[in-house]
Chains A and B, each alone.
Chain A
Amino acid sequence: MNPSLALAAAAVFAIVLLLLRTGDPEPADRATDGPSKSGAIPDQLEATALAERIFSREDQEFVARLQSRRLQQLYLEERRRVAVHWVRRTSEDVSGIMRKHRLSSRQSTNLNAATEAKLFWQFVELKFLCGVLQLLARVSGPHVLVNLAAHTGTLYQRIGQALPQINAVDGTAS
C-alpha cells in the first residue's frame, strides 16, 4: 500500500476517533441526557424507526415545498443537531454495552474466540461509522447519510442482540 495513502487513512481514522472522544454535546442535548435509558438497547422497531425519522427525506421534501429559505435553514440546523445527538448516543451506548460484556467475559469459562472476534470487529466498525456519521452530519447535513445511518442502526441492534446469546452460551451475566 502506498505509505502516504495509509498515513492519510490513519489520520482520518484518528480524527474520527478524536471527534467521538472529544465532541461535546450541544447545550440543548444536556438538558435531556439525564433520565435517558443509556445502556439499554431500544427495541428493534424503535431504533430503526428513530433513525428513519431523523434522516427522513419525506420531512425534507415537505419543508422544501414551503419555499422558505429561513425554514429550510432552520430545518437543516435542527436535524443536524438531532443527528449528531443520535450518533453520539449510539456510540456511547454501544461502548457501555461492550464494557459490561468485557467485564462479564472475564468470568467466563467457555469463551468462543471466533464469536468474540466477530463481535469486536462489529464494534470497531460501528464506532468508525459513528465517527464518519458525526463528521459528515456536521459538515454536510444529515440527509446525505441515510444509508450509512441505517447500516449503523442495524449494526447496533446486531451487537445488542448478539450479546445476550453469547453471554448465555458463555455462562456469564452482563
Chain B
Amino acid sequence: MALVRKAYDDLERRTLSGMPGDFARLIYLASTRDYNSGMYHHEGLAARYGIEQAREALQTAHREIFRGLVSLPLEQLVAELERYVRNSHEAPVGFIHAWQELEPYRVAVPMEVDSTMVQLFLSNVRLALEILRFRQEKSQACQPASSLQPLLGR
C-alpha cells in the first residue's frame, strides 16, 4: 500500500503537475490504459515501484481526475476544455468538429465508476463542445471575412 502511495505521489509530482489542466491529465491517464485489457501501464513507474503498484496508482489518479471534472460546474468545465483545446495546438474549429464527430472523450472514462457520473460527464462535455462552437461562430461572425481564411484553411 505504501508503494502504491509513493507511485501515486511520484506520478503526480513528475508527470501530472506539469500538464496544463485536468482535461490533459484525464486524456493522458486514459492513454496509459490498454484498449483491450483495460489495464494501465507506465514503464517508468512500473520499473520503480512494481507493475501492480504502478497500475493501481494510475487507476486511482484516473478516477480522481475524472471525479474532479464531473463535479465541476458547467462554466468551469467549459473553461477546462477551452484550455485543453488551446494547448493542443490544433485549430479550434477542427478540434471541436473532430470531438463532436468522433467523441474521443468517451474513451477517457475510467472503468467501474458510477454510471450516472459517466452520463453526467459525457453530457457536460457534449454541452461544453457546443458552447465552444457557439462562441467560435460568434467571434467569427464579428471578424472581417479576410481574417477567417487562416482558420478555415487548416
How many Å from the CB of A112 to the closest CB on chain B?
31
| A74-B127 in contact (CB<8A) | yes
**How many residues of A sit at the interface, in one of the four size bands?**
20 to 34
| A71-B130 in contact (CB<8A) | yes
Distance A53 CA – B114 CA, assembled complex (angstroms): 14
| B112-A85 in contact (CB<8A) | no
Please classify the interface of chain B as helix (H, G, I), strand (E, B), loop, or mixed, using the class held by over half of its residues.
helix
| A37-B131 in contact (CB<8A) | no
| B134-A82 in contact (CB<8A) | no
| A59-B73 in contact (CB<8A) | yes
| A78-B126 in contact (CB<8A) | yes
- Count B interface residues, CB 8 Å: 25
Q: Considering the complex, give the chain B residue whose CB is closest to the CB of A46.
A: B114
Complex interface: chain B residues within 8 A of A125 (CB): none
Distance A2 CA – B92 CA, assembled complex (angstroms): 64
| B119-A28 in contact (CB<8A) | yes
Give the contacts of A90-138 with B (CB-CB under 8 A). none
Question: Could you say which of A36, A49, A79, A89 contacts B123, with CB atoms under 8 Å apart?
Answer: A79
Could you tell me which B residues sit within 8 Å of A by CB distance? 67, 70-71, 73-75, 109, 111-120, 122-124, 126-127, 130-131, 134
7 CB < 8 A contacts A-B: A36-B112, A37-B114, A50-B116, A54-B120, A63-B131, A66-B131, A89-B115
